[in-house]
Amino acid sequence: MINLREQHGRGAFPDETPWYLKRKNQLLSVLPNASPVPLPPVLGDTVLYLDLSKWNWPMDFAVAYARGIRIVFIKVSQGAWVDSRFYQLVQAAIDAGMLVGFYHFIDPTQTSVSPEEAAEQAARLTKGVGHLSMWMDVEWRGNLDAQGLLNYLIRWHDAYKSIDDRMIEVYTRHSFFTTAVARSSFWHRNSIGLNSARYHLGLSSPWSDGYYRPADWQYTLDDFDDYHWQYLADGNGLGSYFGSSGAISIDLNLFRGTWNDLLIHYGLIDVPPIDPPENGECLWNFECVKRVRYRTQPITQPQYEYGFKDPGQTVEAKSVVIPNGYEVWLEFEEDEKTYYTALVHWGTKFYEKL
């Protein structure tokens, strides 16, 4: 099978093929009076950004900046192959004032290179460069079974983190990931984020229609707080609009939250400090500002029972639990049972102190 994403870039087609024209006409037919950049009906704030590779070169970042883009994720490598425009894209993006993150295309078909070797090469290229996370781009399985691919990903992750300790996030299609990768708590235990690729302009989140729920992340179906969403790519015809003269189309991604939420998510500004609790005393009332789960343990493992707190609901905290440097949880009682709910999770604040 010919892989168009590898031949022509992620979100890039070299000419107006019949498939491309059909897809473009579909978009235009449902959005006749919209701006040139269609957006899904997501409630609340979002940040729009791009991901890029050699197929987008030449890339005029001044044009992208003028269109409101402040963030780009740039392909570093695929297996052992370094993207041929990696250096030019990174330098041009930084010169234009962009915040830069990276992605590595996981390629188990390159059997001559180990996941450790591929990861270490990528980490040496990114260490000390840019501001944002590294995506593990998980789209191929090669000849590996589900457990084998999970082991490959874990080995890649650990080798990369041994050199470059930036945040890791997974980019994938869940129609692929949930069958190709064995289930594991590894992602939760290592606070690994997610970018879901699902191209459906009518959705309010990547899985708001009930399909392709992220099995290893277990978030609600009607929001994607702390997640990214690649919602539009091949066939959108927006490459030149955002400054790419190398590709007809370009990958569009959303981060759910405000610009400050994004900066907090990546540790670029501090989460507001929380006063230490007084031992043995009932603490404060907190008001929920975003829909959030509560659980029987201060951890986002799916096996623990949970309910929801909606914006405006309050909890009277018994204590504040800080599992690590960027997670803060409230302990509270409800119906004579003890629960935990995230005050701060992955840099996003869910409650305000009353």
Largest CA distance in the chain: 69
Tokens 């270490």 label which residue?
Answer: 120
Confidence of residue 320 (pLDDT cuts 50, 70, 90): confident
Q: How far is CA 215 from CA 144, 184, 186, 295, 348, in A?
A: 20, 9, 12, 17, 22
The helix or strand, by DSSP H or E, that contains position 109, with its residue range, turns out to be none
The helix or strand, by DSSP H or E, that contains position 27, with its residue range, turns out to be helix 18-30
85, pLDDT greater than 90? yes
Q: Of 135-139, 159-163, 174-178, 333-337, which range is least confident?
A: 333-337
State how far the Cα of 31 lies from the Cα of 232, in Å rounded to an integer. Answer: 14
Q: Of 82-96, 237-251, 295-309, which range is least confident?
A: 295-309
172, pLDDT greater than 80? yes
User: Which pTM was predicted?
Assistant: 0.71
Stretch 2-9: mean pLDDT, rounded? 32
Structure tokens at 51: 């991901």
Q: Answer left, alpha or beta for residue 312, where phi above 0 means left and psi between -120 and 50 means alpha.
A: left
Give the pLDDT confidence of 231-246 residue by residue, as tens digits: 999 889 999 999 999 8
How many helical (H) and strand (E) elements, i.e. helices and strands, does the chain have? 9, 18
Residue boundaries of the structural domains of the chain:
4-265, 285-353
State how far the Cα of 29 lies from the Cα of 353, in Å rounded to an integer. Answer: 47
Q: Of 140-154, 233-247, 276-290, 323-337, which range is least confident?
A: 276-290
User: Quick check: 345 and 327 in contact, CB under 8 A?
Assistant: yes
State how far the Cα of 182 lies from the Cα of 150, in Å rounded to an integer. Answer: 6
Using CA of residue 293, residue 158, residue 176, residue 20, what is the dihedral sign? positive
Class of domain 4-265: alpha beta
Q: Answer left, alpha or beta for residue 254, where phi above 0 means left and psi between -120 and 50 means alpha.
A: beta
